[in-house]
Amino acid sequence: MDSRTGARMTMRLPKDTQATLDPLVERATRDRWAARLFDRDASLWTDDRDVASAIGERLGWLDAPAHFSLLAPSLEGFGDGIREAGFDTAVVMGMGGSSLAPDILHRTFGTTEGYLGLRILDSTDPAAVAATVDDLDPLETLWIVASKSGTTTEPLAFMADAWMRVEAALEERNADQRPGEFFAVITDPGKSLASIPHHDELREQFLNPPNVGGRYSALTYVGLVPASLIGIDVDALLKAGATMLDACRTADARGNPGLLLGLALGSLAKSGRDKLTFLADPAISSFGAWAEQLLAESTGKHGTGIVPVDLEPVRPIEAYGADRVFLDLALAGNDAGASGGGRRALLDSLEQAGHPVIRIELDDPIDLAGEAIRWEVATAFAGAVLGIDPFDQPNVEEAKERTRRVLAGAAEDGDEPDPGAIQLRAHDEDSLAEVLRPTLSGLEVPNYLAIQAFIAPSAAVDERIAGIRAALASTGCATTAGYGPRFLHSTGQLHKGGPPTGVFLQLTSDHPVDRPIPGWPYTFGRLIDAQARGDREALRAHDRPVVHVHLGDDLADDLAVLERAVRRALG
């Protein structure tokens, strides 16, 4: 329990797990881990001088609440000015941490009356791009390019598309304005800003401290600019973050909310319980997606890591393996329902079955800002326990480089199809089940199955993917799911660099209506197909098993067929 913050945390761990954790807690207290984090002492993670120097340049997130508190009035003034200028919607064009923080804020708080609507564009599927932007008036929309490096492929492709649409609208209406007046950028200073096309013509430049990594950037301009546009109290967000940060300075690990969580997660992962399963109150359940990218990209490397399991359909108690840890994230006074009974009853049953359960209860949704800090601190310390650098991402560039090679070598009329792909439309359910059976019947704990959906997101597709995950419950293995290319900037690091227990189901689809990227030599359809192929090649280079299923253009129907085939393969 911690009365200093707007959240309370309790842990119920099996006796053997607690016996392993207790000495680690004593060691972290004795060796001043909390103080060393705030002193930027990189010896917590490495004794390599070069690695230590790199880590020292990635700890600016510890200063974010104080730094941005001074900028809160100007942020709120920016939001006021945008509304007064007649904008009614903002579109954040980003990937990974640059898109997830705004998405979680909007899903949790919505838009305050009189403020802007917010959309997140983080899929290169041409149908997804169309669904996100084509119904908007380009001249009533603020287009926000979010890229720490300034060179991220996807945001630049989105910007090229939006710039063309704004130019066309200005010409059509004979408006005496320039396209840059409808754009803002969130990036780092120097080379990053210079890499953004038209950067000196844009309405606003928000330059983050360069010593803050993308996945640790929720309480920087990445989250705060969109927050100011949709009417969230920026001061309250930063105060909640600062309060948690202060609590995380506590020397005694038992009373330090971030340090204790990190020690527990790291210790549990080392003992084989590396599947952290989120069970959350629906009102704040979107936080799991943000925590997922933070944990996966930070800890999934050198053959170890924590596998976050978010939004997995609830199973019977006996269908959870001994590789699980459960995290309950609740709002005070709520006990939202879950399959088979209330969430609290489910967690009680999991405890009784011997599973570790961590419960965090928030007083108010605004305290999610404090949770962002708690989880950043916890992730840093979990990395220390696991013996890895939680601030690098050594395998992320692999898939990007392979994607570039695919695009550079592709013929004018498109890429060669994957000869190993399962063409769903070429099978009935029985034959598809036969093709899938060898892979699915071999799944066993501690395997996990990751669904990689390089297809257009939608509520219907979400439901079908959840059905496939539910069908896999009989294996006892954890399941994860992510849309490509977004997950390449988060869980993709874990997939290649983390524990070699992943089995991957990659989904691609037809593009009956493709979309050009203005000024680029390929379309959005070819880009997402190349990204899927690049990731397949990277996974296979690491000896990760990949089953590639290619769908047609009726995604919901095809996924329903796939779900039935999975059930037959496991029946």
Chain segment 87-124, per-residue pLDDT in tens: 999 999 999 989 999 999 999 999 999 999 999 999 99
Alpha helix segments (H runs only) across 281-326: 287-299
What's the chain's average pLDDT? 95
- Percentages helix, strand, coil for the chain (3-state, rounded to 5) are 50, 15, 30
ω before 390 within 30° of 0 (cis)? no
523, 514 Cβ separation under 8 angstroms: yes
Give the pLDDT score at 308.
98
Edge-to-edge strand list for the sheet holding 422-423: 422-423, 546-551, 502-509, 448-453, 478-483
Give the pLDDT score at 415.
60
pLDDT in tens, 364-423: 999 999 999 999 999 999 999 999 999 999 988 888 899 999 988 764 445 667 888 999
Give the pLDDT score at 408.
87
289, 104 Cβ separation under 8 angstroms: yes
Q: Which of 3, 12, 8, 90 is nearest to 352 (CA)?
A: 12
Give the pLDDT score at 412.
45
* Residues lower than pLDDT 50 in the chain: 1, 336-341, 411-413
HEC letters along 430-493: HHHHHHHHHHHCCCCCCCEEEEEECCCCCHHHHHHHHHHHHHHHHHCCEEEEEECCHHHHCHHH
Distance, CA of 454 to chain centre: 15
Structure tokens at 509: 């689809």
297, 379 Cβ separation under 8 angstroms: no
84, 226, 505 from 558: Cα distances, Å? 46, 36, 15
Distance CA 457, CA 449 (A): 19
Give me the domains of the chain, ranges plus CATH numbers: 7-41+248-386 (3.40.50.10490), 71-232 (3.40.50.10490), 396-570 (3.40.50.10490)
Give the pLDDT score at 3.
57
pLDDT in tens, 327-369: 999 999 775 444 334 888 999 999 999 999 999 999 999 999 9
Torsion (CA) 295, 298, 302, 303 in degrees, nearest 10:
10
Give the pLDDT score at 410.
62
Regarding pTM above 0.85, the answer is yes
Give the pLDDT score at 2.
59
Give the pLDDT score at 396.
84
